[in-house]
Amino acid sequence: MKLSLVYSARAALSRGLRTLLLVAFVFLLLGDKAYAVNPGCRSDPTVLLSNGTTLDLSADIAVPIWNVQRVDYTLHIPAGLAVVATVFTPSWPTTIEHLTVYADNPPSRYSTSTLVQTESHSVAVSANLVLLSPLSLVLAADSAGGYDGQPIYMSFQH
């Protein structure tokens, strides 16, 4: 009798372990498929300024890229600074992302407006702005949410 209890316990443990491994395998196998349930895309241009800092602008948009008509970024940087280089999102057609820069802010003030246009209506948009030092250290960051068709404003002093 004692021997059958030990065997039953081992069999139950073995079945439990197999079930756990199967669940883990299925989770790992299907984990990357979560994006198919919640389609979305990200616009992510980067701007290098004459003082060596980098501004990473981005917009997380809750529709697939083919539903995005246009993403307009308006960036206000401190007076006296200039844009050295702009790198647009590599996987996006360049006609979708547009950047307008004004060097009209007071010293250390950075602000932006992000406007996303989609084929759909009431699409959630999360706009982000990160200021990086020449050594890629995060100096400041801001994030704001809204919807397509409406400008999303952010501003910070650094």
Residues 33, 46: one domain?
no
Count of domains observed in the chain: 2
- For residues 130 and 55, the answer to whether their CB atoms sit within 8 Å is yes
Confidence band of 91 (pLDDT split at 50, 70, 90):
confident
17-35 pLDDT per residue, tens: 565 444 444 444 444 333 3
User: Are residues 46 and 31 part of one domain?
Assistant: no
Q: At 102, list the tokens.
A: 């004004």
Distances (CA, A) of 145 to 60, 124, 141, 150, 155: 9, 7, 14, 10, 13
The pLDDT of 110-135, averaged and rounded, is 95
Q: Are residues 104 and 118 in the same domain?
A: yes
Same structural domain for residues 54 and 24?
no
Q: Same structural domain for residues 23 and 81?
A: no
| The one-letter amino acid at 96 | I
Kindly report the average pLDDT of the chain as a whole number: 83
Q: Are 18 and 90 found together in one domain?
A: no
Domain that includes residue 79, residue range: 41-157
